[in-house]
Structure 1
Amino acid sequence: MSYPYLCPVCGTNRSRFNIIEQIPFAVKKDARSGIITERVPEGDPLHHHYRGDEYRVQCGICGVIENEQVFIKSAQRNPL
């Protein structure tokens, strides 16, 4: 997070961003009601656990949400 960002969509924002921390938790749901019946423990061999980004970044001007690397690469391609 200590790299310069540039919004890849609006192309002007270099200073206003929302850092979105993704905190997934695995659950089992009732198929009919949709109610969560239990949390799935780590290491459950029948459940694939989340392997996505730990953080996402949102432009504070236009609202686009992307992987942090997209904002970093955009700033590297267009330095100040």
Structure 2
Amino acid sequence: MASPYLCPNCKTNRMRFNIIEQLPRSVRLDPQTGEVVAELAADQLDPFHQPYQGETYRVQCGVCGVIEREESFIKMAQHMQNQR
């Protein structure tokens, strides 16, 4: 987060953002009720249970509300900087 951001949607916001931390939980559910039967650590996953591979966090524009990968906000800021 040491890079400038620019919202790729509204293209005006450079200051107001929400950082959304994604904290995945690996769980096993009861197929009938949907209740959590077990919460699993990364080393407890069976071969059919893929570990989470997404981003650690995402960014939301504090003006228009769009949620994207951090890279989208950084690339838009770099693109607009190169336009000048």
Secondary structure of residue in 2 paired with 1:78: helix
The Cα of 1:71 is off from its aligned counterpart by 0.2
The Cα of 1:21 is off from its aligned counterpart by 0.7
Count how many residue pairs are aligned between Structure 1 and Structure 2.
Answer: 80
Query: What is the rounded CA distance, in whole Å, between the counterparts of 2:19 and 2:10 in structure 1?
Result: 17
Runs of 5+ in structure 2 lacking a partner? Answer: none
Counterpart position of 1:74: 76
CA-atom RMSD in angstroms: 1.1
Alignment of 1:16 with 2:16, yes or no, is yes
Counterpart position of 2:57: 55
Letter in 2 for 1:52: G
The Cα of 1:42 is off from its aligned counterpart by 1.2
| Higher helix proportion | 2
Letter in 2 for 1:36: V
Runs of 5+ in structure 1 lacking a partner? Answer: none
Deviation string 1:29-58 (CA, Å, 9 cap, x unpaired) is 000100001012212232211010011000
TM-score by length of 2: 0.90
TM-score by length of 1: 0.94
Secondary structure of residue in 1 paired with 2:19: strand
Query: What is the rounded CA distance, in whole Å, between the counterparts of 2:41 and 2:72 in structure 1?
Result: 32
Identity %: 51
Secondary structure of residue in 1 paired with 2:8: coil
